[in-house]
Amino acid sequence: MIELNKQQKEAAEFMFGVSCVIATVGSGKTTTMTYRIGNLVRNGIPPESILGLTFTRNAAKAMREKLKLVLNDDASKVTLSTIHSFCHRLLKREDIRFDILYGNKQVWLIRKVISKLRIKDILTPVALREISLAKSRLITPDKFLELHKDSDFMVSLAEIYKGYEQEKRKGLLLDFDDLLMESHDILTRSEDARIRYQQTYPHILVDEFQDTNPAQVSLIKLLAGDPDQSNSLWICGDDWQSIYSFIGASVENILHFANDHEGSTQFILDLNYRSTNQILQACQNLISHNDRKIDKTLNTINPDGDTVIVFSATTEEKEAAKVVTEIKDLVHRHDYKYRDIAILYRANSQSRAIEEELSKNEIPFWIENSSNFYERYEVAGLLNYLWLIHDANSDRGDTALKKVINTPNRYIGGRFIGDLEAYAKSNGLNLYEALKFMPVDVPYLRKNIRQFTDFIDQLIIDKWDWEPVDLIYLIRTELDYDKYIADESAELYDDSSNIIDQLQIAAGRFSELHKFLEFTETVRNSSGGDKEGVSLMTIHKSKGLEFPAVFVIGMIEGILPNIKGEIEEERRVSFVALSRAMKLLYLSYSHIHMGRPAQKSSFLDEILKKKEVVTE
């Protein structure tokens, strides 16, 4: 059993009413929440009457494992769930018939609605994002139209939203946002249902409250009712780590919680168990520049530790080389393991140079829940075009053809591909040859195939005179490839054009196509499967994790802070990055980014009062 500190103990022993636990980074909030559940049960509260809400399945799973150590068999009787999973079960209990709509099926349905309405200027992921944001605020299609009737663009979005809802109703479908909206609607309309759930779960705990959106907060209020001396609402979070406004989360929910719940009790957990004092001072220096925050001080009993290091380089490639040099030194001279080290970046497009440098130095690396740079959807499509151009008469050419023949959409289906493979086999041809010779009766299909083969034939001729970077540029421009990628994605890839630009930068170092393709294969095969390797991830994916040594790369204006981000949230994003580090923290930037002059992040001057700067 872990012994709680004084602050944790007070928060864990809170029994009835409303409380807000402001838990600074690394302060043991999950442990405190777990012990609070244990304390309720030890004081006679039935475990079945406790509801713990988290924001990820992994968080719920981790809390369940900790709870087993505190409650043994009673742990399984406590309801621990993500908010969406809880709402899913609520709707099933209320006998609501539905299937979940997600992923490609959701994209297809939105695209169908846009096509039916003949709307040309709104991309599928834009519509998905705006509809999701509206639902996170409990805004219906009619309300959306009322709010935005003066904007033609938003009126078109309202039409898409309305059409999307109509199509879902026909198929008895709900998307993930609907799980909350429908549950909220039931609890709002039915007093019986509301009272029933309040009586079922008189004790509610909510983790990561800073990540809630308005719909979730309203739902929690309906579930909690008015906690008094027989029930409780206990929320936990950290306003300094609120970084999800792009999916509807609002930091105001935790900032205003005390005012919204008069008579509530606030606890502050400010003792950090993770990081050295030097790292925490850098974090404190940075976040102190935010105006909208709950004031607190990061304390620790850990040693002072090493100075936070800031270094710069001329280009991204040289910045990556310096990072790798430091990693090799940590491993070979200071007994660090590769798994102890993480490299964090603001955007996926920033991983290319560091992946290449790690691969060149035969250093294993791991990209959790993501593809490496050369496997990313937007990059792989272009590389398959290049493989087809390089050798259309090989097995690799056949594979590439099947991947690009409908990229962008040429309305060529799986049945046609099957017929093409059969024709090629019976006539002793490769697929590209078969595509040019196989009779096609459907006029539009024959036209599309002819345009495709003419385009590829021209590129096959041009490859002898043009370099790989020129071929990529031609594919992007002639096929309007960037727009296709943006519209095809289930998510809105603001970063996709930058990712493709990075591919062109990499290709620019090669004069021969085959050498560039061999290089991309080498890098692609170097990552993805070795969890003992260096961890690479975006800052958002790093939230909740910790590493003995952390490198935050690409700290330049326009990237961190991001040019599209709100400055205080960007500062919180940076805070999350810095606070992943336990013992060593390195911050770096380049003077040239993607071939253009770059300026170091203004956050660097805020972070360090005394800077140790290592330059070339």
Average pLDDT estimate for 384-399: 93
Q: What is the 3-state secondary structure (H, E, C) of 60-95?
A: HHHHHHHHHHHHHHHHHHCEEEEHHHHHHHHHHHCC
Residue 30 labelled as part of a binding site: yes
In sequence order, what are the residues at sequence separation of 6 or more whose Cβ sits closer than 8 angstroms to the Cβ of residue 305? 275, 276, 277, 278, 279, 583, 584
Cβ neighbourhood burial of 147 (10 Å; 0-12, 13-18, 19+): middle
Hey, what CATH topology would domain 99-171 get? Arc Repressor Mutant, subunit A (1.10.10)
- Collapsed DSSP state (helix, strand, coil) of residue 613: strand
Cis peptide before 408 (omega within 30 of 0): yes
Query: What count of residues does the chain have?
Result: 616
Kindly report, residue by residue over 448-475, the tens digit of the pLDDT. 999 999 999 999 998 888 999 999 999 9
> pLDDT band at residue 529, thresholds of 50, 70 and 90?
low
Residue 38, burial from CB neighbour count under 10 angstroms (0-12, 13-18, 19+) = buried
Burial label for 599, CB within 10 Å (0-12, 13-18, 19+), is exposed
* Domain 285-372+526-614: CATH architecture, name and number where available: 3-Layer(aba) Sandwich (3.40)
Domain boundaries, the chain: 6-92+181-272, 99-171, 285-372+526-614, 375-524
pLDDT band at 528 (very low <50, low <70, confident <90, very high): low
- pLDDT tens figures, 134-168: 999 999 999 999 999 999 999 999 999 999 999 99
Q: How confident is the model at residue 608 (pLDDT cuts 50, 70, 90)?
A: confident
User: Residue 21 pLDDT > 70, yes or no?
Assistant: yes
Say whether 55 sits in a helix, a strand or coil: coil
Mean of per-residue pLDDT scores for the chain: 92
Tokens 């935005």 appear where?
148
- Of 163-172, 174-183, 359-368, the one with minimum mean pLDDT is 359-368
The reply to whether 23 sits in an annotated binding site is yes
What gap in Å lies between CA 277 and CA 298, rounded to an integer?
A: 9
Q: What is the mean pLDDT of residues 340-354?
A: 95
Yes or no: say if 534 and 364 are a contact pair by the CB < 8 Å rule: yes
Is the pLDDT at 340 greater than 50? The verdict is yes
Which superfamily does CATH assign the domain made up of 6-92+181-272 to?
P-loop containing nucleotide triphosphate hydrolases (3.40.50.300)
Phi, psi of 612 (to 5 degrees): -105, 110
pLDDT single digits (tens) 320-334: 999 999 999 999 999
Nearest in space to 600 (alpha carbons), one of 556, 554, 551: 556
Residue with tokens 């205080």: 568
- Could you tell me which residues are beta bridge partners of residue 79? 51
Q: What is the pLDDT of residue 483?
A: 85
Report the alpha-carbon distance of residue 134 to residue 80 in Å, rounded. 27
Q: What is the pLDDT of residue 229?
A: 80
Q: Which residue has the tokens 């935050």?
A: 552
- Asked if residue 495 has pLDDT above 80, the reply is no
| Gyration radius of the chain's alpha carbons | 27
**SS3 assignment, position 367:** strand
For residues 268 and 7, give the distance between their C-alpha atoms in angstroms, rounded to a whole number: 7
Of residues 329, 405, 317, 408, the one with CA closest to residue 594: 317
Q: Distances from the Cα of 95 to the Cαs of 89, 312, 598, in angstroms?
A: 10, 60, 57
Q: How many C-beta atoms lie closer than 10 Å to residue 356's C-beta?
A: 24
SS3 content of the chain, % helix, strand, coil (to 5): 55, 15, 30
> Annotation-wise, does 158 bind a ligand?
no
582-588 mean pLDDT: 98
* Those residues with Cβ within 8 angstroms of residue 14's Cβ, 6 or more apart along the chain or in another chain: 36, 232, 234, 265, 267
**Is the separation of the CB atoms in 506 and 595 below 8 Å?**
no
Task: Give percent of the chain above pLDDT 90.
Answer: 79
pLDDT tens digit sequence for 398-450: 999 999 999 888 888 888 999 999 999 999 999 999 999 999 888 999 999 99
DSSP 177-239: HHHHHHHHHHHHH-HHHHHHHHHH-SEEEES-GGG--HHHHHHHHHHH-S--SS-EEEEEE-G
Q: Is there a binding annotation on residue 162?
A: no
**Which residues lie closer than 8 Å to 126 by C-beta, 6 or more apart?**
157, 492
6-92+181-272 against 285-372+526-614: fold identical: yes
**Would the pLDDT of 120 be above 90?**
no
pLDDT digits (tens, 9 = 90+) for 63-102: 888 899 888 888 899 999 999 999 999 999 999 999 999 9
The pTM for the full model equals 0.91
Q: Would you say 407 is a known binding-site residue?
A: no
Distance CA 284, CA 300 (A): 12
Q: Which CATH class is domain 375-524?
A: mainly alpha
Query: Has residue 197 got a pLDDT over 90?
Result: yes
Where residue 491 falls among pLDDT bands split at 50, 70, 90?
A: low
Query: How far is CA 467 from each of CA 135, 374, 380, 471, 501, rounded to the nearest angstrom?
Result: 48, 19, 18, 7, 15
Look at residue 613 in the predicted model and tell me its pLDDT.
Answer: 44
The per-residue pLDDT for 615 is 47
Comparing CA positions, the residue from 609, 586, 573 lying closest to residue 243 is 573
Report residue 515 as tokens: 């050498």
The reply to whether 44 sits in an annotated binding site is no
| Cβ neighbourhood burial of 176 (10 Å; 0-12, 13-18, 19+) | middle
**Predicted confidence band at 56 (pLDDT cuts at 50, 70, 90)?**
confident
Confidence of residue 130 (pLDDT cuts 50, 70, 90): very high
* Confidence band of 489 (pLDDT split at 50, 70, 90): low
Tell me the C-alpha distance between 209 and 205, whole Å.
Answer: 10
pLDDT, tens digit, 9 for 90 and up, residues 215-236: 999 999 999 998 888 899 999 9
CA 450 centroid distance within chain: 40
Which residues sit opposite 613 in a β-bridge?
310
Of 84-98, 238-252, 419-433, 476-490, the one with minimum mean pLDDT is: 476-490
Residues in Cβ contact with 405 at an 8 Å cutoff, skipping those fewer than 6 apart: 412, 417, 435, 452
Return the pLDDT at 267: 97
